[in-house]
Amino acid sequence: MRRTTASGGNRGQALPAPVGVRFVATYALAVMSVALILIAPLLVTLALKIRSLVGADQAPESLALVTGVGGLLALVAGPIFGRLSDRTSSRSGMRRPWLIGGLLGGVIGITVVAVAPSLVVVLVGWCLAQLFFNALQAALVAVLPDQVPATQRGTVSGVLGITVPVAAVLGTFLVQLFTGHMTAMFLAPCAIGAALVLLFVVLLDDRRLSEEDARPWSVSDVVTAFHLDPRRHPDFAWALAGRFLFVCAFALLTTYQAYYLLDRIGSAEADVPAQVFRATLVQSAVLVVASLVGGRLSDRIGRRKVFVVTAAVTYGAALFVVAMADTFGGFLVGMAVSGLGFGAYMAVDVALVADVLPDAADSARDLAIFNMANALPFALAPAVAPVILAVSGDSYGVLYAVAGACALLAAAAVVPIRGVR
């Protein structure tokens, strides 16, 4: 596998060699692990932890506060850490120091949440987790353009596309095993995820930047780390908008899933962890097939946009099914259809974005800006959802109809992209 020493654009940067099974497997496990550590709290445990501290009446607003502030912090942290990673000339590589430091700080944050005696401490712990895990993610996503050639990006992205559902299934499975033991519900996914990230860190043949090629860091870089000119890079801007809208739909579904089951379906609180696990399992079974097949087909025929558009429309339709459901069976049907759309979307959208990056020498920064489209919805959704619920008379059907509309708009945002077929 090639090493890079470029300091700007593509100058002096060798093309990556084809990657093998070991790299893809360990990389996918690392990506899955970060999702595992964060998604288990977002799906189940964070909502239940907050409910246990503040009571049922204050829980939705308190959850909105914690996830909203954490999401805003993630929004700011990603591009800054991404730029730092792009300019790191450590002997151990450009990405490894941030992978290790981000993992350590993130695990501490999750631990604080797990043992928190009050909502304020939960907020502090979740903010720590978001800050450090975004440092980790900024370096981790940059490994794709660092290490994987364009001809394999669809296939590798397809494998990465199944990591979130696998993490969701594993996370909800672990959580239900420890039902009634709040600390273990947080720390079991955290321990497994940390071990798999460390495995990837040890085996990674990291990209290295020589000291003479490293660009200096200044205070002004904090501001420019967030700069994106849509006129110069319209394809990247449209891809960013599409991902933002798609993740808005996902954030509305996942953040309020537990309360949807409690209030709309009428489930008992003790049944929610098992129901979330079953729904996630059904969704993931479809998602895995859609992701692997979609990514491989995209590489073979050399097209990205048609897969992403179709997938976003399918996901939107699934959310309308969820919006109309009033039984757990109907909810399961919607989740199964959502797996088809989500799997195909995530499989190909990552490859599409890697193909339209503005600057190869700033790949971690650019991908961290793109990751803002993943973080911002989790800050906005908790703020917007209570307003939608209040206006609609606490109707989760209306909430998920809005989510479905976001997915349809995500499909429309991909159409103007010209640099990728």
Q: 411 falls in which pLDDT band (50, 70, 90)?
A: very high
Amino acid at 284: S
Q: Which of 254, 243, 270, 247 shows the shortest CA–CA distance to 354?
A: 243
For helices 46-54 and 119-147, the axis angle rounded to 10 degrees is 170
**Fold of the domain spanning 21-210+230-414:** Growth Hormone; Chain: A; (1.20.1250)
On the question of pLDDT at 186 being above 60, the answer is yes
Please write the tens of the pLDDT for every residue from 95-150: 899 999 999 999 999 999 999 999 999 999 999 999 999 889 888 988 888 888 87
On the question of pLDDT at 178 being above 90, the answer is no
For the question of whether the overall pTM of this predicted structure is more than 0.85, the answer is no
Query: Is the CB of residue 206 less than 8 Å from the CB of residue 96?
Result: yes
List for the chain the helix, strand, coil content (%; round to 5).
80, 0, 20
Query: Is the CB of residue 365 less than 8 Å from the CB of residue 225?
Result: yes
Domain ranges within the chain, ordered by starting residue: 21-210+230-414
Please write the tens of the pLDDT for every residue from 256-271: 788 888 888 888 888 8
Instruction: Count Cα atoms within 13 angstroms, Cβ side, for 235.
Output: 16
User: How far apart (Å, rounded) are the C-alpha atoms in residues 257 and 97?
Assistant: 36
CB atoms within 10 A of CB 126: 27
User: How far apart (Å, rounded) are the C-alpha atoms in residues 169 and 78?
Assistant: 26
Query: Is the CB of residue 256 less than 8 Å from the CB of residue 411?
Result: no
Q: Is 349 helix (H, G, I), strand (E, B) or coil?
A: helix
Query: Is the CB of residue 313 less than 8 Å from the CB of residue 408?
Result: yes
Please write the tens of the pLDDT for every residue from 275-292: 888 888 888 888 888 888
